[in-house]
Structure 1
């Protein structure tokens, strides 16, 4: 029994699979680990490679056209018929039908498995499969330097599935103008706008590889509106093992003209300009260290989830069209039937977080979290997240048209990640440097009004 216990312990920490198992990638599995076959009744088709560049026109400002513009909903789930579909809905979606019975609905469209990634990303996923392992019970990664994407394409437990979301392919160095809002219960809102730059260690020519070995991503966020917040800057160095080396963050206050460390930008520290409706690790549906939770892999299931939300992403849509009382305008959304991994996180004994439990639903094709359910210390469902997935076929990577987080108790919500009214869409392949763009000394210049 002692030998068995040691074997089980090893399997829960070490994650690299055998070359024979890794050979399934690109054969029975997609190159990043999803089931290539469709489901039994054909409502989920087989994956045949996804969308490629040229799938639809891209306008002069870089906004992607909708390759499925002529699609119509197969059916619409409402409070009146929700019981017919409840086995394919998340606890959060069911709660939104209870909270907003007259207005919340889910338009369901034909399932299209659009995910596609560059070949070099597929190659790196195979490297990850046979080399990457977790450290310290899942808090960090080792032997990940050669791959940098999709740590565990053939996962064995819950924290490995979560790491696939955290390490999914996010493209090249980018800049974008992005908007968020926290509407009042009557729908009134103020747009908070940011100019964001994102860099990856392997894509910054002046980064010291040794000092950046535990860095996943660099993000700088400059507040540009409203006027009362403009000029503030937040810089984050996101680490892989945040127990070994906590997330490093700095904030520049335009009024004081001072740069300070910002240790609160982690775990359940308040998120930037979110009016208390969101915490730091709600970003990107979940971002940051996984160490405060025990992560249980519940399994895989079929669910109606936000997918291919090109209509919601369109520059023809204004923020006032999206933001409505109670929830966003569901007429602009698109849901499809997909297989998702279900992972449940429960706060570890001796740790603390305002969410005592959180359930994550992660799309098998992209390893992107598309639905969340956060519970308070009483076990009551508190906040519900939806990630409105869209495939950037031009750059071949998963993306979000928007993210929402609904507070069922307060009756308010957060919506962020919108670029609809920006002059340009996301600008990729940016020539950033560590020294000029992602150091604390660069913050003061970035924050000049």
Structure 2
């Protein structure tokens, strides 16, 4: 599937029109919609008169059977698909799918999209939503859209005016303040053979540090540390990232500790289309978390909102009764374990700026209105061919008021391979929210302490 050259040109024109303007803060009148016709983070409260219901606060009460131990049970265990989209009927539903999703269905006879009843479960803590309402009239885009002004926390642009604001909402969305995870990643061959790479990673917002003081490292959005714990040949290697808010003014700071060499080194390649950690060439650095990092290499165009079938409430994929063989199959994950629902998404198109370099010439983002998380992203190569399709199988961490991903999957249409990241079914202590972290935990010297073999 080729790039749409007319829309590509439109995106470049739109970006050039915005280049000299101040973006961001909306009027008090626009902000007054938050909590009225819009949810506190900017989604439409009303339903669509059909499959999409009104938002009534999200899922704030854990379902019966949840023991409070971080092992998340399915709140909808008895629901069955209302219908299934496959090769026999994909044309009927193509207007509510991305081109990449349609391509996956056409490429694999056993790839299907089971569509369930829509539940608007996404919500955030009250203080996060209150801060989001405040941000609407204060936060601005700076550095031609590549940084945030007057920003501290929460969603910066709940009433977005352009594509960059939507993308910043995804990048900055709340994920629990300070969270540690034990997760698995696999990159199956075309015939389905795989091995698991295990990670112990953590993400801590600057303001969530136990020793945080206002003005301390205030260009840092969050700190990220990722240690490989298996297999043995990779165990002990550690990545540390200081994610800066304005990455043009101050590029992302990154270091790696190599257990074999017992050395800490700066890692400028951990950005843009640098190789993803232990990913066998199946993702770029900025594919992690669906998209992360500086947006400066692309022009961003907001194409509006649409209704779309996206992965949602994907609790089957964290079922502790499953093992990884149940999930990982040749060509794609086991779609019988997936759940898709009809939701409204923001459609944002990123096109590579003239003179910039990246392996993806265009990326089409479909961002969930209720959580600001990317649900689906289609990636095009330099020839304009559809190349990779990313799907985020989301869930609501209902005891923490955090929407996040159960697993992320990135399909390569050309090689027939894929990457799946975030698997927890066979991991101990998969999530620890509220982890206490000090600034000294995120220094280069801490890497050596974290690296064991």
Pick the TM interval, shorter chain: over 0.9
Residue 11 of structure 1 and its aligned partner are, at CA, apart by: 8.4
Q: How does 1:67-216 map to 2 (within 5 A)?
A: 67-100=75-108, 102-145=109-152, 148-207=153-212, 209-216=214-221
Instruction: Please give the secondary structure, in 1, of the residue aligned with 2:363.
Output: strand
1:448 aligned residue: 452
Deviations 1:133-155 (A, max 9, x none): 0011110000112xx11110000
1:285 aligned residue: 290
1:387 aligned residue: 392
TM-score, with structure 1 as normaliser: 0.95
Residue 210 of structure 1 and its aligned partner are, at CA, apart by: 2.8
Residue 347 of structure 1 and its aligned partner are, at CA, apart by: 0.5
Instruction: Please give the secondary structure, in 1, of the residue aligned with 2:134.
Output: helix
Is the Cα–Cα contact under 8 Å of residues 375 and 383 in structure 1 kept in the other structure? yes
Measure, in 2, the Cα distance between the counterparts of 1:359 and 1:51.
29
Match of 1:423 among 416, 428, 436: 428
Is the Cα–Cα contact under 8 Å of residues 61 and 425 in structure 1 kept in the other structure? no
Measure, in 1, the Cα distance between the counterparts of 2:300 and 2:450.
38
Deviations 1:241-285 (A, max 9, x none): 111111111000001100000000000000000000100000100
Is the Cα–Cα contact under 8 Å of residues 12 and 157 in structure 1 kept in the other structure? no
Measure, in 2, the Cα distance between the counterparts of 1:12 and 1:414.
39
Q: Which range is displaced more, 8-17 or 426-435? A: 8-17
Instruction: Please give the secondary structure, in 2, of the residue aligned with 1:284.
Output: coil
Gaps of 5+ in 2: 1-13
Residue 126 of structure 1 and its aligned partner are, at CA, apart by: 0.9
Measure, in 2, the Cα distance between the counterparts of 1:366 and 1:70.
25
Q: How does 1:240-279 map to 2 (within 5 A)?
A: 240-279=245-284
**Number of matched residues?**
438
Residue 205 of structure 1 and its aligned partner are, at CA, apart by: 2.5
Measure, in 2, the Cα distance between the counterparts of 1:263 and 1:140.
19
Residue 59 of structure 1 and its aligned partner are, at CA, apart by: 3.6
Is the Cα–Cα contact under 8 Å of residues 275 and 284 in structure 2 kept in the other structure? yes
Is the Cα–Cα contact under 8 Å of residues 68 and 399 in structure 2 kept in the other structure? no
Residue 429 of structure 1 and its aligned partner are, at CA, apart by: 1.0
Measure, in 2, the Cα distance between the counterparts of 1:17 and 1:56.
41
2:26 aligned residue: 17
Instruction: Please give the secondary structure, in 2, of the residue aligned with 1:286.
Output: coil
Deviations 1:304-344 (A, max 9, x none): 00000011122122111110000000000000000000000
2:63 aligned residue: 55
Moved over 6 A (4+): none
2:415 aligned residue: 410
1:26 aligned residue: 35
Is the Cα–Cα contact under 8 Å of residues 53 and 395 in structure 1 kept in the other structure? no
1:328 aligned residue: 333
Residue 216 of structure 1 and its aligned partner are, at CA, apart by: 1.0
Is the Cα–Cα contact under 8 Å of residues 50 and 113 in structure 1 kept in the other structure? yes
Match of 2:244 among 217, 236, 239: 239
Instruction: Please give the secondary structure, in 2, of the residue aligned with 1:442.
Output: helix
Measure, in 2, the Cα distance between the counterparts of 1:184 and 1:10.
44
Measure, in 2, the Cα distance between the counterparts of 1:386 and 1:120.
29
Q: Which range is displaced more, 208-217 or 228-237? A: 208-217
Is the Cα–Cα contact under 8 Å of residues 390 and 399 in structure 1 kept in the other structure? yes
Residue 60 of structure 1 and its aligned partner are, at CA, apart by: 6.3
Instruction: Please give the secondary structure, in 1, of the residue aligned with 2:303.
Output: strand
Residue 417 of structure 1 and its aligned partner are, at CA, apart by: 1.1
2:308 aligned residue: 303
Q: Which range is displaced more, 349-358 or 195-204? A: 195-204
2:373 aligned residue: 368
Measure, in 2, the Cα distance between the counterparts of 1:295 and 1:211.
31
Deviations 1:226-252 (A, max 9, x none): 010001000011111111111111000
Residue 208 of structure 1 and its aligned partner are, at CA, apart by: 5.1
Is the Cα–Cα contact under 8 Å of residues 204 and 432 in structure 1 kept in the other structure? yes
Measure, in 2, the Cα distance between the counterparts of 1:416 and 1:183.
12
TM-score, with structure 2 as normaliser: 0.94
